[in-house]
Structure 1
């Protein structure tokens, strides 16, 4: 028998309405932190909720600072590490673009949290139309407005936070844990939870070619303090030996500490099995940074050009070597049809990657499969 705890405080939606349609920035932060914390835990277990909206958050009591509970897991699903879901579910106003393209994962929940945060802060929806198809069109094509009141009086951090959740490219969105580390919400006295993303990125890094790893190492040397705060916290959650190195055992133990039945169902454990190369060596913090960063997430940052050019300077000194078009195509899993594009990435003078080539190589070329094309 399944027993649901009684939540006497009512829905988040009712609280928003009772406050005249929106929250003050400081009060909104308290709500958003709770939402992100529960979703970060779900995502670590490999559970995607798929219907995050103010009606599905209930307050435990009527007090102003009551804890919130997430309800209605009827549409939620277990997701395997590299799986993409394809059924369109959820509520129109909160649905992410990639859900409409029928190829999505945990990031769809993050988009919904972006919509909720937008509503909390200004009282109106970022995407609106009279019909469901109109809403879907807006989600796919329109950008949320930050010009109308009360946005001009809001902090730059709040606007940046919402923008980084409502990025139409799901790869560029922050995870729930990264959002908790964002300057708008960051609180040194509140420890960050473990982020499932680092497992996925480290797994990819371990299976990458030496050339790709050299490119990522250079990128990691150009990170700003904001990015390093998150990475340092994640590294420490793996409890490095003598605070210096982590091995496969550290990654396994950290996951076990957070393990529930759901995690076994979702096969999150499969990620650790794919990290087998770490069984025979250890990773220091410098290499962990190279392994646990996502180029896609860095690209929307205001300082991306500066990060990229600093990274390229490191790459020129340490990792840039002569590379043929054929080898570059192999690095990117591309066939001969891509040679004409890749030619522009290699300098004629010395046969090494140019700055353009370096940034494009880091980004990677995605060949979209037919089922994710714009409908």
Structure 2
């Protein structure tokens, strides 16, 4: 949990204390922007299962980016917010490199719904007692809106796996044999944006 997240926790939330802009937000956005369309769909489904308390932190962070009247942000919003709110820790965290990785936002805008998908931390949610419930509910939503038939080779490409990974051996449980769509296991793994190194270890 970061300091900004702690300040948004319902146990200690105090409206008189200003919540700082969290560097974690930018790091998660960077990972999201580099994700495949399938993983983005999975993250969007997961973001719809967040509770009011879990959304509180994201709302505070989104507000710090000062969205426009339409409730959307762009790269300019992020750049301006950093100029205004950057801490010493941020300056030491190669913020400029993070900004460069968000260049895609230069040509489009992001609303709060997508921001939630881009900035939720799967690893932090996993640590919660209700993770299984989150994941199951998200998978149900994903089944309606994002799941589609996919062959193993395409899934391997989505995950950026190299030719050295025996994809059929590693990924066969990720796809339902009945209709060729992602299984719950595949959905859960996809949320992590699994690396080929991690997959190689899992064999």
TM-score by length of 2: 0.88
Q: Give the match's secondary structure for 2:21.
A: coil
Which among 130, 134, 145 is matched to residue 307 of structure 1?
A: 134
1:340 paired residue number: 169
Indicate yes or no: 2:193 matched with 1:355.
no
Alpha-carbon spacing, 1:195–1:265, altered in 2? closer, same or farther (3 Å): closer
- Note the C-alpha offset of 1:192: 1.2
Q: Match for 2:11 among 164, 184, 187?
A: 184
> Which structure exhibits the higher relative contact order, with contacts defined as CA atoms closer than 8 Å and separated by 6 or more residues?
2
Q: Equivalences for 1:210-225 in 2 at 5 Å?
A: 210-225=37-52
When residues 367 and 209 of structure 1 are mapped into structure 2, their CA distance, relative to the original with a 3 A threshold, is closer
Q: Secondary structure at the match of 1:341?
A: helix
TM-score w.r.t. length of structure 1: 0.49
CA change 1:289–1:177 in 2 (3 A) is: same
Q: Using the alignment, how far apart are the partners of 2:134 and 2:66 within structure 1? A: 29
- Quick one: distance in 1 between partners of 2:149 and 2:65? 37
| 1:10-45: CA deviation from partner (whole Å, max 9, x where unpaired) | xxxxxxxxxxxxxxxxxxxxxxxxxxxxxxxxxxxx
Q: Which residue pairs with 2:201 in the alignment?
A: none
Partners of 1:205 and 1:256 in 2: how far apart? 23
Within the alignment, does 1:209 sit opposite 2:53 as a pair?
no
Q: Summarize deviations over 1:240-283 as a string: whole Å, max 9, x none.
A: 00161101100000000134677556531221121110011111
SS in 1 for 2:181: coil
Question: Is the alpha carbon distance of 1:282 and 1:362 closer, same or farther for their aligned partners in structure 2, counting shifts above 3 Å?
Answer: same
Find the counterpart in structure 1 of residue 74 from structure 2. 247
* In 1, Cα distance between equivalents of 2:92 and 2:129: 39
After superposition, the CA RMSD in angstroms is: 2.0
Q: Distance in 2 between matches of 1:191 and 1:265?
A: 22
Please state how far the C-alpha of 1:211 moved relative to its aligned partner. 1.0
Residues 1:365 and 2:180 aligned together: no
The structure carrying a bigger helix percent of its residues is 2
> Aligned partners of 1:211, 1:359: CA distance in 2, in Å?
12
Name the SS of the counterpart of 2:166 in structure 1.
helix
Distance (Å, rounded) in 2 between the aligned partners of 1:305 and 1:267: 35
After the TM superposition, which residues 163-178 of structure 1 pair with which residues of structure 2 at under 5 Å, given as runs? 174-178=1-5
Cα displacement (A) at 1:205: 1.2
Unaligned runs of 5+ in 1: 1-173, 370-375
Q: Deviations over 1:219-256 (max 9, x none)?
A: 11111112100000000000100161101100000000
Structure having the higher Rg: 1
Counterpart Cα distance in 2 of 1:309 and 1:242: 35
How far residue 340 of structure 1 moved from its aligned partner, in angstroms, is: 1.2
| DSSP 3-state at the match of 2:19 | coil
Separation of aligned partners in 2, 1:261 and 1:365: 31
Contact 1:312 1:358 in 2 (8 A): yes
